[in-house]
Amino acid sequence: MSQIYRKQLVFVLTAIVAIIMVMSYFFTYEGITPITNQIQTWALIIQLIAIGIGAISLIRVHYRTIQRRVPGRWFLSAWLLIFFPLLTLIGLVNLATGTMNPFYDWVFTNVYVQGGQTMYAITGFYIFSAAYRAFRARTWDAALLLIAGCIVMLTNAPIGEVIWSGFPVIGTWLLNYGQVPAMRTFLITAALGLIAFGFRALLGKEMGFYGGGME
């Protein structure tokens, strides 16, 4: 009985949902819309539950890190375990009163916003260092890529046009015509691959989709 629940029932449910969703997209039969809306609402609810489970999992992982005193990490986990419930509580108070708590606002504006932007900005330094070290014309292909990359960079920067008015012309051509066929090929093949994967999953040939381990 448990095998039926673990295997066949999952297959059947997945197949039914997939067929309904595919039909609703490709056929204009209005009668199916309420069913698809309901399925999508369930998916939304499941996802929201997953966020809650994710929060519990996060607390457990960081609690273990503190318990084991993992060098260089445990105190960061401690920070998380202090601020996580604190901000959750303040958020719940906000929800009840419908007002923005000044402390909550302060933390977001002065810690979260600044931290987030700094993290993103730092990648610019890594990219610069990586471009200097790794962007080498080792082959003719690499040389072509390098030249195209430099032209597109100078197209994006106003100084490129000041140096030579041809940079934006060539750069725009590369963006409009040079890369579009390759990107279009990539998107279409990826979509075809996804369709093939979907069929394989429905036929039970992709076990990873069902959580794996089902023989």
Partner 1 sequence: MSSGILGKITNIDRRILYWILFVVLAVPFISPIGLPVFVTPTSQAMYNSLNSLKKGDVVVLGINFGVSAWSECLPGSIACVKMVVRKEAKLIVFGMGTTDVAITWNEIMSKIPAFGAGTYKEGDDYAFFGFLPIQETTINLMATNFRQVFTKDTKGHLTDDIPMMKNFNGAKDCKLVLSSDTGDVGDYFIRYWQVPFKVAVGWIGIAMNASTGMTYIRSGNLVGLLSGVRGGAEMEKLIGEPGSATTNMDSISTSHLLVVIAVIIANVAYLATRRKA
The nearest distance, CB 15 to partner 1, in angstroms, is 18
Compare residues 75 and 106 and give the one whose CB is closer to partner 1: 106
DSSP string, 53-112: HHHHHHHHHHHHHHHTT-TTTHHHHHHHHHHHHHHHHHHHHHHHHTS--HHHHHHIIIII
Of the candidate residues 20, 87, 157, 202, the single one contacting partner 1 (CB under 8 A): 157
Distance CA 175, CA 169 (A): 10
Applying CB under 8 A, does 121 fall inside the site for partner 1?
yes
Applying CB under 8 A, does 82 fall inside the site for partner 1?
no
Buried b / exposed e along 50-68 (16+ C-beta atoms within 10 A): eeeeeeeeeeeebeebbee
Applying CB under 8 A, does 175 fall inside the site for partner 1?
yes
Residues 24-53 that bind partner 1 (CB under 8 A): 25, 33, 37, 40-41, 43-44, 47-48, 51
Place of tokens 């890594």: 126
Distance CA 183, CA 129 (A): 27
Report yes or no: 72 and 83 within 8 Å, Cβ to Cβ. no
**Piece of 60-68, 74-82, 160-168, 200-208 that binds partner 1 (CB under 8 A):** 160-168
Residue ranges that bind partner 1, judged by CB under 8 A: 25, 33, 37, 40-41, 43-44, 47-48, 51, 98, 108-109, 112-113, 116-117, 119-121, 124-125, 128-129, 131-133, 135-137, 146, 150, 153-154, 156-162, 168, 172, 175-176, 179-180, 183-184, 187
